[in-house]
């Protein structure tokens, strides 16, 4: 592992830098991640505005942020599978399909959370 001997605040700074590199890489290379980020831009203020209580705001925001988080994991799994080999393999396909399903479940969670909070307000 890189920088194993780094301790304290320097380790935190290195970790932050690597995280920013990962976000930048995913944003540049993954269309789905870019789409999700662009959707977050209007939805985050909307979540803060539509949530009546701090708990509602936390659920609306949290459900939004889970989607790109799972997309990052999906992209990492896909990159790792592609690094191992580009030929078709049942296990590679299964890993990618399962990671994609996790993204779908996170989007479903977001939609259901928003619906459960917002639909009763308008009925």
Active site amino acids: 71
The position carrying tokens 């479903």 is 108
Residue 42 tokens read as 């209007």
CA 8 to chain centre: 27
The position carrying tokens 């939609």 is 111
Residue 33 tokens read as 């991640």
Question: What is the spatial distance between Cα 3 and Cα 70, in angstroms, rounded to a whole number?
Answer: 27
Question: What is the spatial distance between Cα 68 and Cα 106, in angstroms, rounded to a whole number?
Answer: 9
Question: What is the spatial distance between Cα 84 and Cα 92, in angstroms, rounded to a whole number?
Answer: 9
Residue 112 tokens read as 């259901």
């Amino acid at each position: 592992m890189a920088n194993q001997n780094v301790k304290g605040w320097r380790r935190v700074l290195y970790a932050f830098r690597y995280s920013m590199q990962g976000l930048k890489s995913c944003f540049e290379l993954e269309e789905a991640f870019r789409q999700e980020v662009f959707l977050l831009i209007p939805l985050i203020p909307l979540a803060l505005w539509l949530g009546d209580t701090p708990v509602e705001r936390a659920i609306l925001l949290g459900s939004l942020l889970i989607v790109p988080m799972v997309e990052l994991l999906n992209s990492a799994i896909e990159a790792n599978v592609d690094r191992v080999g580009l030929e078709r393999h049942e296990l590679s396909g299964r890993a990618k399909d399962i990671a994609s399903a996790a993204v779908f479940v996170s989007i479903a969670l977001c939609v259901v959370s928003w619906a459960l909070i917002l639909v009763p307000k308008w009925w």
